[in-house]
Amino acid sequence: MKAIIVQEPNIVEMIEVEQSKVRPQDVLVKVFYAGICGTDIDIVKGEIDLVKDGRIQYPVRIGHEWSGIVAEVGSEVNGIAVGDRVVSETFVSCTAIGTIDNPWPGAFSDYMCIPWYNVYKVSD
């Protein structure tokens, strides 16, 4: 799949990456929209404490403000089904999506995986 990766400060590329594997509590979402916020810009520029103190290691796939349609669900997912339109919290526990690349890469990609309990259905 295609993904936008910040390789290092001020070096951004669209490249082919492997699609994430769906774990039991994950949903795989086809991303339709992803917003660019100040945090994303600061990561690109390398001008955020998360970069300066080493919590973000390049390369990183940014993007934590997004919406999409569920393409696949894990075996332990409840209340979310293939075809649901969804958004999510910008954090999974204490890890911001699309900042610290492992295990929650950002939404600037064709697809992304995220725990079902961080996903919210939205109307058509």
The answer to whether residue 76 scores a pLDDT higher than 70 is yes
Q: How many angstroms separate the Cα of 46 from the Cα of each of 42, 58, 62?
A: 6, 10, 12
pLDDT at 84 over 80: yes
Amino acid at 109: S
> What's the pLDDT tens digit per position in 31-74?
999 999 999 999 999 999 988 898 888 999 999 999 999 999 99
Classify residue 60 by its DSSP letter.
B
Calculate the CA dihedral of residues 69, 71, 73, 78 and round it to 10 degrees: 30
- What the chain holds in terms of domains, given with CATH numbers, is 2-121 (3.90.180.10)
Determine contact, residues 9/48, Cβ cutoff 8 Å: no
Query: What is the model's pLDDT at position 11?
Result: 98
Q: Reduced to 3 states, what is the DSSP secondary structure of residue 93?
A: coil
pLDDT score recorded for residue 101:
53
What 3-state class would DSSP assign to 82?
coil
